[in-house]
Chains A and B, each alone.
Chain A
Amino acid sequence: MLEIKNLHATVGDKEILRGIDLNVGAGEVHAIMGPNGSGKSTLAHVLSGRENYQVTGGTVTYQGKDLLTMAPEIRAREGIFQAFQYPIEIPGVSTTYFLKAALNAVRKHRGLDELDAMEFLSLIKDKMNLVEMSQALLNRSLNEGFSGGEKKRNEILQMAVLDPTLAVLDETDSGLDIDALRVIAGGVNALRNPNRAMIVITHYQRLLDYIVPDFVHVLYNGRIVKSGTKELALELESKGYDWLKGEAAAVH
């Protein structure tokens, strides 16, 4: 579904990604771990098409198409969803209002009829329970005054509504207490299915106790230096990232 080959990217004049190779198949959950500054979030931003991230080399192919030439909204409509580490607050627009507009943009692109207000409300009601969000919260301005946990739950709700093919979860666990983490992981797990792939980016192993990945990759200094199964995450947890730095130095 997603093939990343020798991906290089810079922010400003600083090279952050220095040759990423990654293949993600349908239904798979890949965890990307790594110390701060290793390039985890940059990878997420490059996939969602954020400005100020310059791809300087390599290719990203998504469902057989060149992802890097697509505008951010086209990527979204083609089924890529990023759950942001720091969701934006937008005063004056309720989550319901905004999400209906987003869903209809996506549906239109996919050749589906747009939903009217009633149809949308019944759709969102089902999804709200998934992440334990109230209608009152959804009627408030998007993320304005939301707690950290509420913002992250809102991201997962949006993911549930937009029904992506590839979801990229960027540090979704950051700033969450254990109860909020459980709710969010429960929502994410409910959305796992054979047609949907996920890339879960995290600094800590903790999240992976709840969202159990099929594959774990360790990013260091802009490259994937080690890949394995979920056991690799446990090994990182006990040994820390320092031993990898030694390995990376030995490899290169």
Chain B
Amino acid sequence: MATSENKESYIAAFRKLRAGGALAGPVWLEQLRQAGIASFEAMGFPTLKNEDWRYTSVEPIATQSFALANGEAKSIIGAEVFSRALIETDAPRLTFVNGVYSAALSNTTSLPQGLRLGPLAEFIDQGDASVAAQLGQLARAEQQHFVALNSAFLGDGAVVSLAPGCRLPRPVYLLFVSTAGAQPVISQPRILLLLGAGSEAKIVESYLGVSGKAYFCNAVTELVGAEDSIVEHYRVQQDSELGFHVGTLAASLARNCHMTAHAVTLSGALVRNNVRVLLNGAGAACVLNGLYLADGKQHVDNYTLIEHVSPRASSLELYKGVLGGAAHGVFNGKIIVHKDAQKSDARQTNKNLLLSDSAVIDTKPQLEIHADDVKCSHGSTIGQLDADAIFYLRSRGLDVAAARSLLSFAFASDVVRRLGIEHLRQRLDAYLVGRFGAW
């Protein structure tokens, strides 16, 4: 079967790289990669039989051969991709092309005091103790097929590390561009975000596909929020028509750490976002905002798992999707409240707007509660544009097309207005107007 052949080809590639000395490094890294390939060898790619992958077939990824990237940055024009990727060019930035770091397209000059920002490979080479201690602690290769694959080939990526008390005045941008290679390319960036106690940051991961050919981006981010830190994490993802994307964010929040994680998916052939949050200290709080748009035959799957481990933590989740054409959307939101997590407050909402008869959404909220003194709620809606609202707008002079555009925009912009970066709000609203049509 093609899928297992392909699994074997990844394993063979791993052995070849290792034999050639390409996967050298410190012992802890060696162990991480070994654990990754061992897990991947045991599990392979997920199938529909796997509960967390019930509605998403990864066969298009599993059956295709992808080559490791060689970092063809030559064809990239900075100004063009920065604009498309919604990046503020005067803010600190790391850029990766097909997973390979590009110093020329990055901006690491005059960083604020207390911020360490650079490619992961450099941190590893320098023997950075915090990276050695944290990498692989949150994103575990066991049970997670794509984390296993990412870990096996762990090479480069980004590190954002904030000293205790450091408050960043500007967002940090991490840009990952996928572009055409000689054959379909795979990139597997690994991102480590370390928020010291009482620190504050806004960190934007922007994924942009500029290739007309198939590619696969399998990104894994680990976010460690120490006590009293405040972090806004953004994931803006625009993959091209033949782009496959699996993105994982694994976060652990200590006492009174507040994290807001925004996930904005605008395009891609097959996209799967995993967000896993551990509320690991009393008073920790997370807000998850999601917006996903899909058209044509695109498939976009958002999986979120929030674990309330400690008491008095809160989670507030809103994911909204707009699906047109024959697109398929999936929302799978799981909340687990552990035995000791009394006074937990968990609220989850998923709303979907279907713009065509052929669009499909599978929405699956799951609550698993083991404590008795908690507030938990979840709700999901699936609907079309409201006929009464369309009539109301027409009665004020807008035609049907304009009314539909405005209402679709309003539905999506409801997520955009929650973003904490003015630049992103403006650019995304403009994007939505372009996507749904002006009025």
Contact B394 A101, beta carbon cutoff 8 Å: no
Contact A76 B397, beta carbon cutoff 8 Å: yes
Contact B397 A106, beta carbon cutoff 8 Å: yes
For B405, the closest partner residue in chain A by CB is A101
Flag whether B430 is at the interface (Cβ < 8 A).
Answer: no
Which stretch, A87-95, A119-127, A218-226, touches the partner chain B? A87-95
CA–CA, A90 and B417, complex, Å: 15
Number of chain B residues close to chain A: CB under 8 A: 25
CA–CA, A162 and B393, complex, Å: 13
Contact A92 B391, beta carbon cutoff 8 Å: no
Please pick, from A76, A84, A91, A92, the residue contacting B394 in the complex, using a CB distance under 8 A: A76
When A73-B398, A105-B402 are in contact, do A92 and B393 touch as well, CB less than 8 Å?
Answer: no
Which residues between 386 and 424 of chain B lie within 8 Å of chain A, taking CB atoms? Answer: 386-389, 391-400, 402, 406-407, 409-414, 417
CA–CA, A82 and B392, complex, Å: 10
Contact B393 A50, beta carbon cutoff 8 Å: no
Q: Please, which residues of chain B bring their CB within 8 A of the CB of A102?
A: 393, 396-398
Flag whether A51 is at the interface (Cβ < 8 A).
Answer: yes
Contact B402 A101, beta carbon cutoff 8 Å: yes
Contact B399 A105, beta carbon cutoff 8 Å: yes
Please pick, from B392, B397, B417, the residue contacting A77 in the complex, using a CB distance under 8 A: B397
Q: Please, which residues of chain A bring their CB within 8 A of the CB of B386?
A: 88
Contact B410 A76, beta carbon cutoff 8 Å: no
When A50-B391, A72-B391, A92-B414 are in contact, do A98 and B406 touch as well, CB less than 8 Å?
Answer: yes
Flag whether B439 is at the interface (Cβ < 8 A).
Answer: yes
CA–CA, A76 and B389, complex, Å: 15
What 1/0 flags go to A64-105 for Cβ under 8 Å of B? 000000011101110001101001101111000011011101
Flag whether A48 is at the interface (Cβ < 8 A).
Answer: yes
Q: Please, which residues of chain B bring their CB within 8 A of the CB of A88?
A: 386, 388-389, 392
For A108, the closest partner residue in chain B by CB is B397
B420, chain A: closest CB distance, angstroms: 18
Flag whether A109 is at the interface (Cβ < 8 A).
Answer: yes
Flag whether A158 is at the interface (Cβ < 8 A).
Answer: yes
Contact B393 A98, beta carbon cutoff 8 Å: yes
Q: Please, which residues of chain B bring their CB within 8 A of the CB of A162?
A: 396-397
What 1/0 flags go to B241-279 for Cβ under 8 Å of A? 000000000000000000000000000000000000000
Contact A158 B409, beta carbon cutoff 8 Å: no
Number of chain A residues close to chain B: CB under 8 A: 30
Q: Please, which residues of chain B bring their CB within 8 A of the CB of A75?
A: 395
When A98-B406, A105-B402 are in contact, do A76 and B396 touch as well, CB less than 8 Å?
Answer: yes
Q: Please, which residues of chain A bring their CB within 8 A of the CB of B389?
A: 88, 90
Q: Please, which residues of chain B bring their CB within 8 A of the CB of A48?
A: 395
CA–CA, A99 and B393, complex, Å: 9
A120, chain B: closest CB distance, angstroms: 14
Contact A73 B397, beta carbon cutoff 8 Å: yes
CA–CA, A106 and B387, complex, Å: 21
When A91-B410, A98-B406, A101-B402 are in contact, do A51 and B387 touch as well, CB less than 8 Å?
Answer: yes
Q: Please, which residues of chain A bring their CB within 8 A of the CB of B397?
A: 73, 76-77, 102-103, 105-106, 109, 162
Q: Please, which residues of chain B bring their CB within 8 A of the CB of A90?
A: 389, 392, 407, 410
For A72, the closest partner residue in chain B by CB is B394
Please pick, from B391, B406, B407, B413, the residue contacting A51 in the complex, using a CB distance under 8 A: B391
CA–CA, A75 and B392, complex, Å: 13
A68, chain B: closest CB distance, angstroms: 15
For B411, the closest partner residue in chain A by CB is A92
For A93, the closest partner residue in chain B by CB is B410
Q: Please, which residues of chain B bring their CB within 8 A of the CB of A51?
A: 387, 391
For B439, the closest partner residue in chain A by CB is A101
CA–CA, A51 and B395, complex, Å: 11
When A72-B391, A88-B389 are in contact, do A101 and B410 touch as well, CB less than 8 Å?
Answer: no
Q: Please, which residues of chain B bring their CB within 8 A of the CB of A84?
A: 392, 395
Which residues between 333 and 349 of chain B lie within 8 Å of chain A, taking CB atoms? Answer: none
Which residues between 343 and 396 of chain B lie within 8 Å of chain A, taking CB atoms? Answer: 386-389, 391-396
Q: Please, which residues of chain B bring their CB within 8 A of the CB of A93?
A: 406-407, 409-410, 413
User: Nearest 5 A-B pairs (CB), nearest first?
Assistant: A92-B410, A102-B396, A76-B397, A105-B397, A92-B414
Please list the residues of chain A having a beta carbon within 8 angstroms of any beta carbon in chain B. Answer: 48-51, 71-73, 75-77, 81-82, 84, 87-88, 90-93, 98-99, 101-103, 105-106, 109, 141, 158, 162
Given pairs A71-B394, A92-B417, 15 additional interface contacts (CB within 8 A)? A49-B394, A49-B395, A72-B391, A72-B395, A73-B400, A82-B395, A84-B392, A84-B395, A88-B389, A90-B407, A92-B410, A93-B407, A93-B413, A102-B398, A105-B396
20 contacts between A and B (CB under 8 A): A49-B395, A50-B391, A72-B394, A72-B395, A73-B400, A75-B395, A77-B397, A81-B395, A90-B392, A92-B410, A92-B417, A98-B396, A101-B398, A101-B402, A101-B439, A103-B397, A105-B396, A109-B397, A141-B410, A158-B396
